[in-house]
Amino acid sequence: MQNTSSSGQNETNAGPTTHFGYKTVAEAEKAAKVAEVFHSVAQRYDLMNDLMSAGLHRAWKAFTIARADVRPGMKVLDIAGGTGDLAKAFARKAGPSGQVWLTDINDSMLRVGRDRLIDKGLVVPTAVCDAEKLPFPDHYFDRVSVAFGLRNMTHKDVALAEMRRVLKPGGKLLVLEFSHVAKPLAPAYDWYSFNILPWLGKKVAGDEESYRYLAESIRMHPDQDTLAAMMKEAGLDRVRYFNLTAGLVALHEGVNLG
């Protein structure tokens, strides 16, 4: 018999399990498997994003940056910051009196992001860290963001609670993530995801399986309303979401009212 935990994982006599795409793996193994994916794709990550989304990921991130409304002097934490697109914009807006942290659990991605920011003349503090165990004090940041990273986390409820913990009262969390597309578009989107994405991964990044996992991980991610409920359960208020490109992506927001 299996028992379902509050974070959506299952537990058997062999110990707790979770999903890795469509596969079931031991919880303890998931982080390493996700790390393998992003170590593999780090150098071609931005190029693949442009190809996979036809450049739309730039518009989705621009919308997120605008909604964040980062102002001079603010402290911002970018989780799973990857190649640094959001951190770069936030650092420019926060200015020299602010503080923007670029973090990722994957050191290959973090190095790419750090180097890109340095090339743009921006030096920000960086840290390899697990979103489920953030190494920051309570109520430290004005804004916390995570773009296309939450779906890879083993215990999303724990990660969301950590994000709320490090937010100042009145601070805002922004979660940009692939979501559930409008039903009339679902068949075409499924065909594209499971045929074109792996093909692109093989031809451009030399890694078909990693992009097959990415397609599967999107399907396993909670839908818009479920994620909104999880954010409320984590203690966030004023939770709302914006569907972008017919729900292909959604931006969720929540505020820590203290």
Known binding residues for S-adenosyl-L-methionine: 83, 104, 130-131
Long-range CB contacts (within 8 A, 24+) of 198-205: 200/48, 200/51, 200/52, 201/41, 201/48, 204/44, 204/47, 204/48, 204/51, 205/40, 205/41, 205/44, 205/48
Query: What b/e sequence results for 196-209 when a residue is b if at least 16 CB atoms lie within 10 Å of its CB, and e otherwise?
Result: ebbebbeeebebee
Please state, in angstroms and rounded to a whole number, the distance separating the CA atoms of residues 23 and 216.
9
Q: Please state, in angstroms and rounded to a whole number, the distance separating the CA atoms of residues 65 and 84.
A: 12
SS3 content of the chain, % helix, strand, coil (to 5): 50, 25, 25
Q: Which residues are annotated as a binding site?
A: 83, 104, 130-131
DSSP 43: G
Rounded Cα–Cα distance for residues 33 and 45 (Å) = 17
For residue 206, give the DSSP letter. S
Amino acid identity, position 215:
A
Sheet with 141-147: list strands edge to edge. 126-128, 99-104, 75-79, 141-147, 167-178, 249-255, 237-244
At residue 220's C-alpha, the angle toward residues 218 and 221, to 5°, is 65
